[in-house]
């Protein structure tokens, strides 16, 4: 609960900052599919995000060099990063760090490198890039994020990236016209199930102009969904059915392969 409240405060603070610049532009976005279904033969896929920058009469006429950063974050969960060390001649897990409510999937896309879009200060405040995204850790009794080159944080980001679950691409957003843009959102096979938030931030001359949000969900359907929820919610029934299935298979085998 404490953490939830903390995150809410962070969220409010971010919203307050975003409201500061005058809203002269509006972002209109849509993803190609709001509901991705994971079927038995799911082996990854890609969503496409489309959008356009709508100007109104308050827009300064000479404004045109827009920069766009898209942040996709998947369902949040607690994770532990462990480090192995050599003890008594064997490699065992010794030190560990707990990451609290971090996204299971995190992708940051932009039209050009983050350091060309905004100053380091803005990059940090707007969480541009994997190095600047807030990854809350439990540090003793406190909750905090640490410096990007902290060994546990960088190992965490690296391992997630190796599985395609964390990614950063600074040329993924393409402007089709000066105001119309698109980007692909790759989803690997082991993508976590749940709701994904997509945050689109528009920058111009190093400052945030406006931002908007959309979402999509990844769901297991049919048999997978049924098996996974039954296992979690009706452990006893699930166990009984599995054990019964085992006995039936064994019995069938003894009938089929009976020698006499």
Partner 1 sequence: MQLYLPIADIPVNVFLILAMGAAVGFVSGMFGIGGGFLMTPLLIFVGIAPAVAVASVASHIAASSFSGAISYWRRRAIDPLLAAVLLVGGTLGTTFGVWTFTFLRSLGQLDLMIALSYVILLTTVGGLMFWEGLRAMLRSRGGGAVTLRKPGSHGWIHGLPLKLRFKRSKIYLSVIPVVVIGLIIGFIGAVMGIGGGFILVPLMIYVLRVPTSTVIGTSMVLTLVTMVFATMLHAVTNHLVDAVLALILMIGGVTGAQFGARAGQKIRGEHLRLLLGLLVLAVGIRFAVELVIRPQDLFSIRETGGAPP
Chain residues that interact with partner 1, rule: CB under 8 A = 4, 38-43, 75-86, 89-93, 96, 98, 101, 104, 152, 155-156, 158-160, 189-190, 192, 194, 220, 223-225, 227-228, 231-232, 235-236, 238-243, 245-247, 249-254, 257-258
- Residue with Cβ nearer partner 1 (143 or 238): 238
- Residue with Cβ nearer partner 1 (96 or 116): 96
DSSP string, 180-226: EEEEEEEE-TTPPPEEEEEEEEEEETTEEEEEEEEEEEEEE-HHHHH
- Residue with Cβ nearer partner 1 (9 or 28): 9
Phi, psi of 4 (to 5 degrees): -55, -45
Q: How far is the CB of 129 from partner 1 (least distance, A)?
A: 20
Closest CA to 66 of 167, 173, 172, 169: 173
Q: Give the alpha-carbon dihedral of 237, 242, 245, 246, to 10 degrees.
A: -140
Q: How far is the CB of 13 from partner 1 (least distance, A)?
A: 20
- Residue with Cβ nearer partner 1 (145 or 224): 224
- Distance separating alpha carbons of residues 144 and 131, to the nearest angstrom: 14
Q: How far is the CB of 217 from partner 1 (least distance, A)?
A: 12
Tokens read off for 114: 């983050």
Burial (CB < 10 A; 0-12, 13-18, 19+), residue 208, is buried
Q: How far is the CB of 89 from partner 1 (least distance, A)?
A: 6
Q: How far is the CB of 76 from partner 1 (least distance, A)?
A: 6
- Residue with Cβ nearer partner 1 (30 or 96): 96
């Amino acid at each position: 609960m404490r953490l939830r409240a903390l995150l809410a405060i962070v969220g409010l603070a971010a919203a307050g900052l975003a409201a500061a610049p005058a809203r002269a532009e509006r972002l209109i976005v849509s993803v190609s599919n709001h509901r991705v279904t994971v079927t038995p033969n799911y082996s990854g896929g890609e969503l496409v995000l489309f959008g356009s920058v709508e100007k109104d009469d308050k827009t300064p006429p000479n404004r045109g060099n827009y920069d766009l950063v898209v942040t996709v974050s998947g369902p949040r969960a607690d994770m532990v990063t462990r480090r192995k060390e050599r003890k008594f001649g064997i490699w065992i897990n010794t030190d560990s760090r707990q990451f609290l409510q971090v996204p299971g999937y995190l992708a940051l896309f932009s039209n050009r490198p983050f350091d060309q879009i905004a100053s380091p200060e803005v990059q940090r405040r707007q969480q541009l890039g994997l190095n600047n995204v807030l990854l809350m850790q439990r540090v003793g009794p406190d909750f905090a994020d640490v410096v990007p080159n902290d060994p546990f944080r960088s190992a965490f980001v690296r391992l997630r990236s190796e599985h395609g679950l964390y990614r950063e691409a600074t040329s993924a957003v393409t402007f089709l016209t000066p105001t119309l843009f698109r980007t692909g959102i790759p989803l690997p096979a082991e993508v976590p199930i749940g709701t994904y938030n997509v945050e689109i931030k528009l920058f111009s001359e190093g400052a945030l102009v406006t931002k908007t949000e959309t979402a999509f969900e990844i769901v297991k359907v049919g048999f997978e969904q049924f098996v996974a929820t039954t296992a979690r919610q009706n452990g006893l029934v699930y166990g009984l059915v599995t054990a019964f299935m085992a006995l039936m298979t064994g019995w069938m085998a003894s009938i089929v392969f009976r020698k006499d």
